[in-house]
């Protein structure tokens, strides 16, 4: 009986972890468009200064091309953390900490994350 109960609890825990480990929220088309606008804005996100992005002009090559982002970042919160403060994962990164240094607001980081995750 105890083994069966433990197996049931383990199964429930696994299922709940799978459900809640990924964001349930789906961004609207307007939010994704606003995120793209910020990412391409040379005075704000300026992602094109370092990254090649489909549809962007004059991309840089310091950072990797932003392609297959859902495959590279299945957990969107990890992508957001990378945009907010990449120095947390790699103190020697060339990528600026957009959120930590106030280059973008938290909401703007969210919007850019939503757009980049669609690439």
Whether the predicted model's global pTM rises above the 0.85 cut: no
- Mind giving me the DSSP string for 24-60? -----HHHHHHHHHHHH-TTTT-GGGT---TT-SS--
* pLDDT over 70 percentage in the chain: 79
pLDDT band at 1 (very low <50, low <70, confident <90, very high): low
Distance CA 21, CA 44 (A): 30
Distance CA 99, CA 113 (A): 12
pLDDT at 57: 92
The SS3 call for residue 113 is helix
Q: Please name each of the domains of the chain with its CATH number.
A: 25-116 (1.10.760.10)
| Encoded tokens for 3 | 């083994």
Distance CA 119, CA 107 (A): 19
């Amino acid at each position: 009986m105890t083994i069966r109960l433990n197996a049931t609890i383990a199964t429930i825990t696994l299922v709940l972890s799978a459900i809640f480990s990924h964001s349930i929220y789906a961004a609207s088309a307007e939010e994704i468009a606003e995120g793209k606008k910020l990412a391409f804005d040379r005075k704000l996100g300026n992602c094109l200064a370092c990254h090649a992005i489909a549809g962007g002009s004059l991309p840089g090559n310091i950072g990797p091309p932003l392609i297959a982002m859902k495959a590279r970042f299945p957990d969107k919160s990890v992508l957001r953390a990378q945009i907010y403060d990449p120095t947390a994962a790699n103190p020697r990164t060339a990528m600026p900490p957009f959120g930590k240094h106030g280059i973008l607001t938290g909401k703007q980081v969210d919007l850019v994350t939503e757009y980049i995750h669609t690439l």
